[in-house]
A = this chain, B = another copy of it.
Amino acid sequence: MRRKIPAIILGAAGAVGQRFVQLLDHHPWFEVVALTGSERGAGRTYEEACHWVLDIPMPEWARRMEVLPTLPKAVDAPLVFSALPAHAAREAEPIYAQAGSIVCSNASAFREEADVPLILPEVNPDHTCLIHRQRRERGWSGGIVTNPNCTSTGMTVTLKALKDAFGVEKVVAVSMQALSGAGYPGVASLDILGNVIPYIPGEEEKVESEPLKMLGDLQGEAILAAPLTISAHTNRVAVADGHMLCLSIALNRPPSDMQEIARCLADYAAPQISRDLPSAPQPPIRVLEAPDRPQPRLDVHTGAGMTTVVGRVRPDPIFDVKMTVLSHNTIRGAAGASIYNAELLVKQGIITDEWS
């Protein structure tokens, strides 16, 4: 067996950073060699620096690891996972990319840039080729590859299956999003206990634009955004993990019936290259028939939190079909997404262990 690829986690103490630590525990291909944190955390052990919020205990190897400052860059590694907030990512990620690391980033900082791949391996693995343009134009030996916002994720996987079979024209998307999506400490308990907050800053803009890039066509070294309009309402609810989305969708070709839609979703297979990666969701989409599902509490762990769960597929009196979609926001929608992307990049030969 080949040796594992060394990986760094930037911003390891936050809610998404913790998910990276947990999901990379016993990862077959990657081995965490360094954890970074804010100035306040740097110099302490991970156990001291981190208010662990997961219901799975912190891995032993992480407890005693010293938290390093994110900048100035102290450690080299072929692979960098970034759980940084957007402003910190904007500063730090280019420095790591320039030094030769492939940065698999969950941050929003570079997602919309024309030369930065925004990837879901079961949707658009071919878009990773933007990294060559990125390296050329920016003079980097490494590069940045991003995954979408947690709310865009489940929607985009669903829309990809529908687009391939029917074409998608319009989507009204209303989310009910989990607390872990706001990080830690995130939402104050007094604000959300027995309540709904109908606003998440910057979220609707991301949900309306990111899917268009991912569902777009690659033309040379540019993405032509998919000709699709999304209208989003994003809400915060008192759920720990699992973003729910109510979708009303206008298709280009009307389906013969709802069974055809359900089948198209349930049968969706990721592109060949993305199917058998360690974090590949099995299956990519699960369609539930019970009328009251999916539910975050009961279904969020489907496919180890990587599967997109769809239910309530039924006719829409205005558009063609409506449905409810659930996706685990810190696994499929954040840390798991970056890791799945990194696995794809290994398979594509963009990340290698011949680095140091």
Contact = CB atoms under 8 A, between A and B. Distances in A.
A197 B290 CA distance: 12
Interface stretch (A1-9, A185-193, A254-262, A348-356): A185-193
Given A187-B190, A193-B193, A198-B244, 18 more contacts: A53-B191, A53-B298, A55-B297, A55-B300, A56-B301, A172-B172, A179-B190, A186-B190, A193-B238, A194-B240, A195-B239, A195-B298, A196-B296, A199-B293, A233-B246, A233-B248, A233-B322, A238-B238
Interface in A201-256: 201, 208, 229-231, 233, 235, 237-240, 244, 246, 248
A230 B319 CA distance: 10
A261 B244 CA distance: 29
Interface of A: 15, 52-56, 170, 172, 174, 176, 179-180, 184-199, 201, 208, 229-231, 233, 235, 237-240, 244, 246, 248, 291-298, 300-301, 311-312, 316-319, 322, 324
21 contacts: A15-B190, A53-B191, A55-B298, A174-B174, A174-B246, A176-B176, A179-B193, A185-B190, A188-B189, A192-B193, A193-B194, A193-B238, A194-B194, A195-B297, A197-B295, A198-B246, A199-B291, A208-B317, A231-B316, A231-B317, A235-B246
B15 A176 contact: no
Contacts of A184: 188, 190
B238 A172 contact: no
A295 B198 contact: yes
A79 B246 CA distance: 42
